[in-house]
Every structure is written in C-alpha cells, then in structure tokens.
Amino acid sequence: MAFDEKARENLEAVERLQSDEEGTRDCLGNAVANRAYYAAYHAVAHLARARGVRFTADSGYYRHDTFPADARRSGILDDEGVRDMRQLHAARVKADDYDDPVEIEEAEVVAGLAQRLVKKLLP
C-alpha cells in the first residue's frame, strides 16, 4: 500500500476511533493520537518519496525525532506544518509510552491537526 493511501486510511481510522455524534461510541484517545500522527507521517513520507528526498541513509525509513525538521529543510513542511507534526508526535509518544492517557479534548485537537495537514499535503 502506498504511503498516501496509508495516510488516508489512518485518517479514516481517526474518525472511527472518535466519539460518535449519537454518543453510542466512546473516544479511544490513545488510538486517535497514534493514528493521527501516522496519517500525517505517511502524508509527508509520501511526498518525500515522490520527490526522491531521503532523510536517512535508508530510503524507506524516516526518523521520527528529526522528521519535522527534515521535512522543513526539504520544503515539504512549512513552519506551521513543523509545529503540527511536533504536536502530533508528542501526543503519539504520550499515547504509546506513558501511563497518562490522551484525553478526549487532546484527541480532538490532534485529529484536527492531522486532518488539516493531510488535506494540505494530499489535496
């Protein structure tokens, strides 16, 4: 599956993992944060691959800690995109590596960031 397809699939997962309007489904905040990050990550990685941009010696891998700055240097992200990616990364790390859960409000914020970033990068 191509990275642009993975980005869109992850955005769909974000939608499904949030609370529904009827209140019959609870938000899974940690999962939302994880999938939101990877939606944006795959959108950026798709553009990097399409442009032949390598952030590491391994063309199939992009380091998560330097990813936003690398994408900025290559012209894929602007300053706002870098801030959004850093916020998405921080939420993903919280969701995956710490005891404190990603709260519903945080999940809604990162879902919006991912949706905006993917829409901007993959119109």
How much is the average pLDDT of 3-24? 93
List pLDDT tens digits, range 57-102: 776 678 888 889 999 999 999 999 999 999 999 999 999 999 999 9
The alpha carbon of residue 107 and the mean position of all alpha carbons in its chain are separated, in whole angstroms, by 12
Name the residue among 40, 42, 23, 38 with its Cα closest to residue 104.
Answer: 23
Task: Assess whether pLDDT exceeds 90 at residue 56.
Answer: no
| pLDDT value of residue 47 | 95
Name the residue among 20, 4, 14, 8 with its Cα closest to residue 111.
Answer: 14
What is the residue whose two structure tokens read 């994408």?
71
Task: Assess whether pLDDT exceeds 90 at residue 55.
Answer: no
Name the residue among 4, 35, 1 with its Cα closest to residue 123.
Answer: 4
- CATH 1.20.120: does it fit domain 3-121? yes
Distance CA 24, CA 32 (A): 17
Supply the pTM of this predicted model. Answer: 0.93
Confidence band of 123 (pLDDT split at 50, 70, 90): confident
Instruction: Please give the share of the chain, as a percent, with pLDDT higher than 90.
Output: 80
Question: What's the mean pLDDT when you consider all of the chain?
Answer: 93
